[in-house]
Amino acid sequence: MKLTQKEDQQVKKAARALLETLKKEKLVLDWRKRQQSRAAVRLCIEQAFDELPPAFSPSLFQEICDATYQHVYESYFGEGRSIYGEVGMDSARPVGA
């Protein structure tokens, strides 16, 4: 799919807003253990991606939401912890420490 520059900017804006909202409001301690918290994360993803350009078909929209939820579930543990934070901490550790 080829997006216009304006559509590309819309996608980036929606992704940034989603990540900010998730980190501030949804990815709380043990969010993956509670059904209500998982559902809130999924709903947040779908609502954020409602801002995607009309070029995204309903089936592609669903695929994007599914893939995003799976990524968030596997990568963000809650309370500001994620695979990215762990990687950053490991790379900052001196060799042999």
50 half-sphere exposure, CB direction, 13 A CA radius: 6
* 7 contacts: CB under 8 Å, gap ≥ 6: 53, 55
Q: How far apart are CA 65 and CA 61, in angstroms?
A: 6
* 53 contacts: CB under 8 Å, gap ≥ 6: 3, 6, 7, 10, 11
Q: pLDDT digits over 8-29, tens only?
A: 999 999 999 999 999 999 999 8
Q: Where exactly are the structural domains of the chain?
A: 5-92
Given pLDDT bands bounded at 50, 70 and 90, which one contains residue 90? Answer: very low
Q: How far apart are CA 76 and CA 32, in angstroms?
A: 9
State the pTM of this model.
Answer: 0.81
Given pLDDT bands bounded at 50, 70 and 90, which one contains residue 96? Answer: very low
